[in-house]
Amino acid sequence: MDPEVLKQAPLFRGLEDDAVAALSAAMGTVKLARGEVLFHEGDSEDRLYVVVSGKIKLGRSGSAGRENLLAVLGPGQMFGELSVFDPGPRSTTATAVTPSELRVLEHDELNGWLTGNPEVAQGLLGQLAGRLRRANDVVADLVFSDVPGRVAKALLDLASRFGDRRDDGVHVHHDLTQEELAQLVGASRETVNKALADFAARGWIRLEPRSVTLLDVERVERRAR
State the residues that interact with ligand CMP by CB under 6 A.
58, 70-71, 79-83, 90-92, 131, 135
Burial class (CB in 10 A: 0-12, 13-18, 19+), 225: exposed
**Minimum CB distance to ligand CMP smaller for 79 or for 199:** 79
Question: Which H/E stretch holds residue 32?
Answer: strand 28-32
Q: How far is the CB of 43 from ligand CMP (least distance, A)?
A: 8
Q: How far is the CB of 76 from ligand CMP (least distance, A)?
A: 14
**Minimum CB distance to ligand CMP smaller for 23 or for 48:** 48
Q: How far is the CB of 101 from ligand CMP (least distance, A)?
A: 18
Q: How far is the CB of 2 from ligand CMP (least distance, A)?
A: 21
CA distance 51 to 207: 27
Distances (CA, A) of 6 to 19, 27, 106, 153: 12, 11, 16, 27
Closest residue (Cβ) to ligand CMP?
Answer: 83
**Minimum CB distance to ligand CMP smaller for 129 or for 135:** 135
CA distance 151 to 159: 12
